[in-house]
A and B are shown apart, each in its own frame.
Chain A
């Protein structure tokens, strides 16, 4: 399983397609028959996984957003985001960006 840290850079795998509906997301992967439904954090992470910003920046963005809206503390956001990113990487939704990808 991919080890995810705040400095890890992840992107959506190219075969991931999704549509947000009321904050959540319907997700399909070309290679898999099943349709996934992600909750708000999962959907936000998919939006943020552009392969440029490290995971730490997602946590900053979401901590600001959730902190203001729902009074969720940064620790909780960090835990949720790191957990989800690891799960999503294991499920083939996200992949790490390596130095060669950048070059």
Chain B
């Protein structure tokens, strides 16, 4: 069976596989477009509550645990929580801005947490752009130095970036920088509103031309990597459509938790379905009416995407982003429509291109 089929089974049977934990909203950077809602109030979960929560995740056989924020490294118990996650056997990912990822802390992360992957955010290919977005002068130079250090330590690192109006002119240079550093770079083409619905981050929404250039570049680079993956290494049923009842795994194979114990179906979909201060995860997982409603909505979202035809998947529709943009998780928002249109354009150009022989 392919991985896609197993994940579809997890969606159908509500098997929790991946959880993202926002440990704190404290942060040593101050990104202009950050989606975190810094006005959210509540009682932070204690170390003991996290330990109990992690035990519940283990009992539910969760595989992936991502530690995010805010800046997760800024949580006072970060190392203890990460080490506990490792001890319980999760595949641990750390999503960090990389600003504090150096020296003793970086070494202890490697030795005590041994993360599967550290995902670090890159905001530009130059100090001017990166620091403009993070609003911390010197953050770019420090990031480059830290990346060299953590690579030398043997930590596995990936770069993440969000395309914005400020960095879209440097996108080629960002990929080139990633190549020079020997790190993979994943670029998200969409700026989302703040978690409380605030639209200020949208001021740096990338231009249509910027998104198109990114898609062309990604296709180009994808084609290069396609050429070096032998067909025999791909699973036989990879291209067979996967029967599934839901559009995505929000609230069925995945969920997210904020620093105050609120549980959400996904990091993007900020509809609280319970709180760990008053309920156990098992109670929420099995009984929350909000979660049942979310699962029903992800089933209906599948119909919404299908109503856009066989290429509806190019919308890369996200009900969470839809809820943030419009208040309605089933509304196909303009950024998704633009994405489909631009991807169709790129794919059509691809189809016209003669296939080149692979030269090794």
Is B a genuine binding partner of A? yes
Residues of A participating in the B interface, judged by any CB pair closer than 8 Å: 17-22, 24, 26, 28, 30, 35, 37, 39
Please judge, given known A-B contacts A21-B9, A22-B9, A30-B116, whether A35 and B3 are in contact too, CB under 8 Å. yes
28 contacts between A and B (CB under 8 A): A17-B63, A17-B89, A17-B90, A18-B63, A19-B17, A19-B61, A19-B62, A20-B61, A21-B9, A21-B15, A21-B17, A22-B13, A24-B1, A26-B3, A26-B6, A28-B63, A28-B116, A30-B91, A30-B114, A30-B116, A30-B156, A35-B3, A37-B1, A37-B2, A37-B3, A37-B6, A37-B235, A39-B1
Chain A proximity mask over B85-123: 1 for CB below 8 Å, otherwise 0: 000011100000000000000000000001010000000
Cβ A28 vs Cβ B91 within 8 A:
yes
Q: Does B217 contact A (CB under 8 A)?
A: no
Interface size class on chain B is: 10 to 19
Chain A proximity mask over B6-26: 1 for CB below 8 Å, otherwise 0: 100110010101000000000
**Chain B residues whose CB sits within 8 angstroms of the CB of A22 once the complex forms:** 6, 9, 13
**Chain B residues whose CB sits within 8 angstroms of the CB of A21 once the complex forms:** 6, 9-10, 15, 17
CA of A20 to CA of B6, assembled, Å: 9
CA of A28 to CA of B156, assembled, Å: 14
**Chain B residues whose CB sits within 8 angstroms of the CB of A30 once the complex forms:** 91, 114, 116, 156
CA of A24 to CA of B17, assembled, Å: 14
**Chain B residues whose CB sits within 8 angstroms of the CB of A19 once the complex forms:** 17, 61-63
User: What is the predominant secondary structure among interface residues of chain B facing chain A?
Assistant: loop
Residues of B participating in the A interface, judged by any CB pair closer than 8 Å: 1-3, 6, 9-10, 13, 15, 17, 61-63, 89-91, 114, 116, 156, 235
**Chain A residues whose CB sits within 8 angstroms of the CB of B2 once the complex forms:** 37
CA of A37 to CA of B6, assembled, Å: 9
In the complex, residue of chain A having the shortest beta-carbon distance to the beta carbon of B6: A21
**Chain B residues whose CB sits within 8 angstroms of the CB of A39 once the complex forms:** 1
**Chain A residues whose CB sits within 8 angstroms of the CB of B114 once the complex forms:** 30
Shortest C-beta distance, B29 to chain A (Å), equals 28
Going nearest first, the 10 A-B pairs with the smallest beta carbon separation are: A19-B63, A21-B6, A17-B91, A22-B9, A28-B91, A21-B9, A37-B3, A30-B116, A24-B1, A21-B10
**Chain B residues whose CB sits within 8 angstroms of the CB of A28 once the complex forms:** 63, 91, 116
Cβ B63 vs Cβ A26 within 8 A:
yes
5 further contact pairs, Cβ within 8 A, besides A26-B3, A28-B63: A19-B62, A21-B6, A30-B114, A37-B2, A37-B6
**Chain A residues whose CB sits within 8 angstroms of the CB of B91 once the complex forms:** 17, 28, 30
CA of A39 to CA of B62, assembled, Å: 19
CA of A18 to CA of B61, assembled, Å: 9
**Chain A residues whose CB sits within 8 angstroms of the CB of B62 once the complex forms:** 19
**Chain A residues whose CB sits within 8 angstroms of the CB of B15 once the complex forms:** 21
Shortest C-beta distance, A30 to chain B (Å), equals 6
Kindly name the residue among B1, B3, B9, B156 whose own CB sees the greatest number of chain A CB atoms within 10 A.
Answer: B1
CA of A75 to CA of B129, assembled, Å: 65
In the complex, residue of chain A having the shortest beta-carbon distance to the beta carbon of B235: A37
Kindly name the residue among A21, A24, A28, A37 whose own CB sees the greatest number of chain B CB atoms within 10 A.
Answer: A21
**Chain B residues whose CB sits within 8 angstroms of the CB of A26 once the complex forms:** 3, 6, 17, 63
CA of A28 to CA of B6, assembled, Å: 14
**Chain B residues whose CB sits within 8 angstroms of the CB of A18 once the complex forms:** 63
In the complex, residue of chain A having the shortest beta-carbon distance to the beta carbon of B12: A22
CA of A28 to CA of B18, assembled, Å: 13
**Chain A residues whose CB sits within 8 angstroms of the CB of B3 once the complex forms:** 26, 35, 37
CA of A19 to CA of B64, assembled, Å: 10
In the complex, residue of chain B having the shortest beta-carbon distance to the beta carbon of A20: B61
CA of A35 to CA of B235, assembled, Å: 11
Shortest C-beta distance, A44 to chain B (Å), equals 15
In the complex, residue of chain B having the shortest beta-carbon distance to the beta carbon of A37: B3
In the complex, residue of chain A having the shortest beta-carbon distance to the beta carbon of B61: A19
Shortest C-beta distance, B22 to chain A (Å), equals 22
Shortest C-beta distance, B108 to chain A (Å), equals 17
**Chain A residues whose CB sits within 8 angstroms of the CB of B90 once the complex forms:** 17
CA of A19 to CA of B89, assembled, Å: 11
